[in-house]
Amino acid sequence: MINRRKFIVQSALLSSALAIPGSLMSFAAFDQDNAPQVFDVIIVGGSYSGLSAAMALGRSLRKVLIIDSGLPCNRQTPHSHNFITQDGKKPKDISSNAKQQVLNYDTVSFHEDIALKMQKKGDLFELSTASGKVLLAKKVLFATGLKDIMPPIPGFSDCWGISILHCPYCHGYEVKGQQTGILGNGNVAFHYAQLVSNLTNKLSIFTDGPANFSSDQQQLLRKNNIRVVEQKIKSLVHQGGKLSGILGQDDSTHSLTALYARPAFEQHCKIPVELGAGLTEQGLLKLDSVQQTTIPGLYACGDNSAFRSVATAVSTGSQAGSAINMALSTEIFNLR
C-alpha cells in the first residue's frame, strides 16, 4: 500500500510531467526507460514530403515521430522554383520553415537519426536506428527520396544541382537563352531536347560516345538546329560548381553555362525493398491510390515514388498523411 508521503511525491512528479510538451515528454520517457513505445506513425525522412505528411497527421492528433538524417539530396541546390508562394527561396529555408510549423503540433516529434532496419512485430512495425533506438509504430511512411549515382566524369558531382540540372520546370527559366547542353543519349536526350528547345536556341547534345537516335529523331534534331557531339568527355570545366564548358578527350572545349542530365538513381533507403515492397520499371516504389506500397501499412511519398519536384513532394506527402489518418480512423472506429 502506498503511504501518504509517497502519494504526494508521485502526484507532484505527474503534475510536472503534464506541463512538459508531448513531444519532449515522449523522448524523455524513451531515453530514460530505454524501451520502445508505440507511435501512430513513424515518418522516415523529414524534408518537404515527410513534413507535409506530418502536418496532416499532427492536425489529426496522431502521435508521429519524424526520423531524418539532416542530409537532403538537394543540399547543393541554391534556389527552389516552380512551387507557388516559395518561388526562388533556398531549399533549406523552405524546409526549416516547414519544420518549425509542423512542430507546433505537440503530438509530432522530430529526431535526427538514421533508420537502419525494420521488421513486422505482430500488428506493428519495429524500426531500429543508427543510434540504437528501437521504435514501434502502427504505420510507417517512407519519404526518403532517391540517391543519384554520379557518372565518373570529373566535375559532374561538383556541378550537380547548381549548373547541372535535372528538371527544366524547376530550373530552366533561370538559364533561358544561355548556351546549354544535354548529357544523354537516345530517347532520354531526345525528350530533353523537345523540352529545352523552348527555352534556348543554343542547344547541343553530348552523348559521351556513339549516338543512339532513330533516323526520325536525327532528322528532327537537325531541323531544330540541335547539334550532337559524340566525342567522349574528359571533364567538366567549372568554378565552384558553375559550368563554363565541357572538355573533350582531344582537349577541345565546348562552351556551356548549363547542362541537363538524368543520372542513374537508386532508392535512398533500402528498408522498403528489403521488406519486399515492389518497384516500378523506373525503380520507384510501387504505390496504390492511397500512397500505400505493396506491403499493407507501409506507405511512401515524395521522390522515392513520384515525379521529382518540391511541389509534387508536398502534394504526395499531404495525400499520404491524409490516407494514413483515414486508415487509422477506420480501424479504430470499426473496433468500437
Give the per-residue pLDDT at 264.
94
The answer to whether the beta carbons of residues 260 and 181 sit under 8 Å apart is yes
The three-class DSSP label of residue 61 is: coil
H or E element: which one contains 137? strand 134-142
Domain boundaries, the chain: 36-147+265-335, 156-261
CA proximity to 317, closest of 95, 43, 23, 117: 43
Integer Cα distance of 283 and 293 in angstroms: 13
Give the per-residue pLDDT at 233.
97
Q: DSSP assignment, residue 277?
A: -
What are 144's three cell numbers?
A: 526518403
The answer to whether the beta carbons of residues 43 and 94 sit under 8 Å apart is no
Give the per-residue pLDDT at 9.
36
Mean pLDDT score, 315-333: 97
List, in sequence order, the alpha helices (H) in the chain: 4-18, 22-33, 48-58, 91-102, 156-159, 168-171, 186-196, 215-223, 271-274, 310-335
What are 73's three cell numbers?
A: 539530396
Tell how strand 134-142 and strand 298-300 pair up. parallel
The alpha-carbon radius of gyration of the chain (Å, integer) is 24
Class of 156-261 per CATH? alpha beta
Q: DSSP assignment, residue 283?
A: S
Q: DSSP assignment, residue 166?
A: S
Give the per-residue pLDDT at 88.
67
Q: Which residue has the cell 537537325?
A: 222
What are 240's three cell numbers?
A: 565552384
What are 296's three cell numbers?
A: 499493407
Give the per-residue pLDDT at 33.
52
25 Cβ contact list (under 8 Å, min separation 6): 17
pLDDT in tens, 139-198: 999 999 999 999 999 999 999 999 999 999 999 999 999 999 999 999 999 999 999 999
Residues in the chain: 336
Same fold, 36-147+265-335 and 156-261: yes
Question: 220: how many CB neighbours lie within 10 A of its CB?
Answer: 16
Integer Cα distance of 146 and 159 in angstroms: 18
Q: Residues 287, 129, 326, 281: what is their CA dihedral angle, to the nearest 10 degrees?
A: 0
Half-sphere exposure of 296 (CA within 13 A, CB side): 5
CB-neighbour burial class of residue 115 (10 A; exposed 0-12, middle 13-18, buried 19+): buried
What global pTM score does this model have? 0.85
Mean pLDDT score, 93-118: 92
Concatenated DSSP letters of 65-87: EEEE-S--TTTT-----SSTT-T
What are 195's three cell numbers?
A: 523540352
Would you say residue 27 has pLDDT above 60?
no
The answer to whether the beta carbons of residues 51 and 60 sit under 8 Å apart is no
Integer Cα distance of 226 and 186 in angstroms: 14
H or E element: which one contains 9? helix 4-18
pLDDT in tens, 63-73: 999 999 877 66
H or E element: which one contains 13? helix 4-18
pLDDT in tens, 290-322: 999 999 999 999 999 998 889 999 999 999 999
Integer Cα distance of 9 and 248 in angstroms: 77
pLDDT in tens, 211-237: 999 999 999 999 999 999 999 999 999
Q: DSSP assignment, residue 284?
A: P
Give the per-residue pLDDT at 262.
95
The answer to whether the beta carbons of residues 139 and 324 sit under 8 Å apart is yes
CATH number given to 36-147+265-335:
3.50.50.60
